[in-house]
Amino acid sequence: MLDDADEIHPLFHGAPQTTEFKKLRKRIVRYAREAIEQYGMVEKGAKWLVCLSGGKDSYTLLAVLHELKWRGLLPVELLACNLDQGQPGFPATVLPEFLEKMQVPHRIEYQDTYSVVMDKVPQGRTYCALCSRLRRGNLYRIAREEGCSAVVLGHHRDDILETFFMNLFHGGRLATMPPKLVNEEGDLFVYRPLAHVAEADCEKFARAMNYPIIPCDLCGSQDGLQRQQVKQILDQWEKNSPGRRQVMFRALMNIRPSHMLDPKLFDFAGLTLGNDKIDQISDEVPKLR
Sheet holding 189-191, edge to edge: 106-110, 77-84, 47-51, 150-152, 189-191, 180-182
Q: pLDDT over 90 for what percent of the chain?
A: 69
Tell me the backbone φ, ψ of residue 15, rounded to 5 degrees. -60, 135
- Please compute, for residue 219, the number of CA atoms within 13 A of its CA located in the half-sphere on the CB side: 13
Query: Which positions make up the binding site?
Result: 128, 131, 219
Q: What is this structure's pTM?
A: 0.87
SS3 105: coil
How far, in Å, CA of 285 to CA of 257, rounded?
A: 8
Count CB neighbours of 267 within 10 A.
12
Distance from the Cα of residue 107 to its chain's centroid? 20
Count CB neighbours of 9 within 10 A.
16
**Which tens digit of pLDDT belongs to each residue from 119-152?**
777 776 666 777 778 888 999 999 999 999 999 9
How far, in Å, CA of 41 to CA of 61, rounded?
A: 15
- On whether the CB atoms of residues 69 and 78 are closer than 8 A, the answer is yes
* Better-predicted residue by pLDDT, 79 or 4: 79
* Better-predicted residue by pLDDT, 51 or 92: 51
Q: Which burial class, exposed, middle or buried, applies to 92 when counting CB atoms under 10 A from its CB (0-12, 13-18, 19+)? A: middle
Supply the DSSP symbol for 17.
-
Q: Averaged over 269-282, what is the pLDDT?
A: 65
- Which CATH superfamily does the domain covering 10-252 fall into? HUPs (3.40.50.620)
- On whether the CB atoms of residues 46 and 147 are closer than 8 A, the answer is no
How far, in Å, CA of 182 to CA of 132, rounded?
A: 17
Query: Which positions make up the binding site for [4Fe-4S] cluster?
Result: 128, 131, 219
Where are the chain's structural domains? 10-252, 257-289
- On whether the CB atoms of residues 212 and 199 are closer than 8 A, the answer is no
How far, in Å, CA of 61 to CA of 29, rounded?
A: 9
